Amino acid sequence: MTATDSLFCTIPRKRIVRSNYLAFAILDGFPVTRGHALVIPKRHVEDYFGLSRHELLACDELLRELRQDVMADDATVEGFNIGMNAGAVAGQTIAHCHIHLIPRRAGDVENARGWSSPPDTGQGPLLSQARCLLRRERLVRSPRSFRCGYSREARGVDEQRERA
C-alpha cells in the first residue's frame, strides 16, 4: 500500500478537530460512544511500531488535549478507552496508524472490562465490512484534503530533535 492509498492520507481539513506538527485528530466516522476520536500521525506509517519517538509524543499530546476537551464538554464521561490495533489479525482495518480515544460513561456497556463496545446487534462481520466500505466512500479525496506526510518545516524540527 502506498501512502496515497490510505484512507487517512486524504482527510478533508474540515474533519480535523485538533492537530500539531506531527499528528492530527478527527471524530470517528462510526463511534463506539459520543466523542470517540482518532489520533493519526501525519506521516503514513502502518502501525504504532513504526512511529518515531517524536510522533509518539505528538500523538500523546493530542490524546491528552482531546481528553480535556471531552471532560470540559461532557460531565457524564467518567473514563476512557485508549486503543489501537497493529495488523489485520489484530483487527486493524486501515493500514495507517491511528489511536482510538473512546469516552466512557457509567452504564454505556454491560461489562466494561477490556476492549468493550456496545452489545452486538447480531449482524456480525458483514455489518463491519459494510461500515468500512461506507467510511471509504464518505471520505472522498479532494484538493482541500490533508495529505500524508508533513511539511518541510515540521520534518526539520523532527530531525533536529532526533539528533538532540
How many residues make up the chain in this entry?
A: 164
First to last CA, the chain: 32
Residue pair 9/148 in contact by the 8 Å Cβ criterion: yes
Q: Which three cell numbers stand for residue 124?
A: 456480525
Q: Is the confidence at residue 33, as pLDDT, over 90? A: yes
Residue pair 70/77 in contact by the 8 Å Cβ criterion: yes
98 catalytic? Reply is yes
Active-site choice (44, 54, 96, 98): 98
| Domain residue limits at 141 | 3-163
* Total count of domains within the chain: 1
Q: For residue range 97-151, what is the model confidence (pLDDT) as tens digits? A: 999 999 999 988 877 675 545 555 554 444 444 444 444 444 433 334 445 554 5
Residue 161 and residue 36: Cα distance in Å, rounded?
31
**Percentage with pLDDT > 70 across the chain:** 65
pLDDT at 41: 96
What's 75's domain CATH number?
Answer: 3.30.428.10
Residue 148 and residue 43: Cα distance in Å, rounded?
5
Q: What is the DSSP letter of 145?
A: B
Residues facing residue 100 across a β-bridge: 38, 83
- pTM, entire model: 0.70
